[in-house]
Structure 1
Amino acid sequence: MDDVKIGEILLPGDEDTQTRRERDVRAKFWPTLKRAFRQIPFGRDLVAAFFCATDPQTPLRVRGILLAALGYFVLPLDVVPDVFALVGFTDDIAVLTTAIALIRGHMTAEHYTAADRALAEESLSS
């Protein structure tokens, strides 16, 4: 996956696009995370990114970038479909890594605390 494609995926979008993406991400994030958790080396950062993206205090552009990346993550059919074992999430990992690198300064201790709490509560081994 090249940088141009990732850049296109991570466009924050307008307010309507962000609202639609947030609805999709809220509905599909946890089931997708459970399927992918063993293949994603930065699960805690990913969950913190979810809480950052859904935090109304996060700047609109940052939320837009994260919602675009998380929206791509929850789509079952993307550049490399997630149904392919081991390689299915490689494109998702590239997009998510780029998004988190772009906005890392906006992920707060509170987002990580919420991630730790959620990971402790969620049964990710199922």
Structure 2
Amino acid sequence: MSDPFIKPFTKAEMDAMRSATRDEEGLKRRFWEKLKRVAGKIPFAEDLLAAFYCATDAKTPSRVKLILLGAIAYFVFPMDAVSDFLPLLGFADDAAVLAAAITQVAGSITEDHRLKARETLGQLTPEQP
């Protein structure tokens, strides 16, 4: 059985990847800015960070990176289906997009990515008494 993450990209996939990663440094900067603001408010922060670390890992296959960067971009950019300012519902669409992406690439997110995510989250959010 062949690995679905190794097959060549179509032209449409390549165009989407170029568009999503054109300003990868800007995406990373906006990711950290938003995560620092909301990390203690979203229950999926650890999964989001693990996805980020997987997407930025040089060992991660390109197809996996594309899927995860798309979900991360959806989280970062202010124009999404449900405004992040709505109490309780604001991040529901972000969580759903992230969950769908992680489901597609779950085997690529390693325990090392998750451990690094937990460590970083511990530094970003104050401990509760």
Q: Is the TM-score greater than 0.5? A: yes
Residue ranges of structure 2 left out of the alignment (5+ in a row): 1-11
2:49–2:117 CA contact under 8 A, matched in 1: yes
Q: TM-score, normalised by structure 2?
A: 0.75
Question: In structure 2, what is the Cα distance between the partners aligned to 1:124 and 1:105?
Answer: 30
Question: Which of 41, 49, 52 is 1:50 aligned to?
Answer: 52
Question: Which of 56, 75, 78 is 1:76 aligned to?
Answer: 78
Partner residue of 1:92? 94
2:82–2:90 CA contact under 8 A, matched in 1: yes
Return closer, same or farther for 1:19/1:79 CA change in 2, 3 Å cut-off: same
Residue ranges of structure 1 left out of the alignment (5+ in a row): 1-10
Question: What's the offset of the Cα at 1:83?
Answer: 1.8
Bigger Rg, structure 1 or 2:
2
Letter matched to residue 73 of structure 1:
F
Larger relative contact order, structure 1 or 2 (CA cutoff 8 Å, min sep 6)? 1
Moved more, 91-100 or 12-21: 12-21
Letter matched to residue 120 of structure 1:
G
Partner residue of 2:8? none
Question: In structure 1, what is the Cα distance between the partners aligned to 2:126 and 2:31?
Answer: 12
Work out the number of aligned pairs and report it.
115
Question: What's the offset of the Cα at 1:38?
Answer: 4.4
> Which runs of structure 1 show a deviation greater than 4 angstroms over 4 or more consecutive aligned residues?
none
